[in-house]
Amino acid sequence: MPETLSIAPPPAVAEPALIPRNTARVAISILLTVLDSWAVVTFGGTLHRVSADHTIWLPGIVLLFLSLFASLARTWYLALAVRPR
């Protein structure tokens, strides 16, 4: 039987990251929190006044803001979750 060469790649060497992953996640979470807060403060009152007399628009705006806060909560959860390695 002829000898065959192994096709398995050599083991990967872990390179240190410039910014630790958790630090980057927290920084992104802070940035998103600031941007979301700005959007709520800037447009929340206006959207409420515009949609107050519309029976369909108001629940839509409420769902929009709820999804904004849910996505922000998920971002913070992923940033602060402790995962075993």
For the stretch 30-57, pLDDT in tens is: 999 999 999 989 998 898 888 888 888 8
Assess if residue 55 is contained within a domain: yes
Residue 16 scores a pLDDT above 70: no
Q: Is residue 64 part of a domain?
A: yes
* Inside any domain, residue 61: yes
Average pLDDT over all residues of the chain: 82
Q: Which residue has the higher pLDDT, 47 or 5?
A: 47
Tokens of 77: 């959860």
Number of domains in the chain: 1
What are the distances in angstroms from CA 4 to CA 7, 9, 10, 11? 9, 15, 16, 20
State the helix-helix crossing angle for 57-80 and 21-51, rounded to 10 degrees. Answer: 170
Does the residue 58 lie in any domain?
yes
pTM, full prediction = 0.66
Is residue 59 within 8 Å of 2, Cβ to Cβ? Answer: no
Q: Is the pLDDT of residue 17 over 70?
A: no
Provide the residue range defining the domain that includes 52. 21-79
Could you tell me if 57 and 44 are in contact, meaning their C-beta atoms sit under 8 angstroms apart?
Answer: no
Q: In this structure, is residue 12 part of a structural domain?
A: no
What DSSP state is assigned to residue 18? Answer: S
Give a yes or no: residue 14 inside a domain. no
Question: Does residue 70 surpass a pLDDT of 90?
Answer: yes
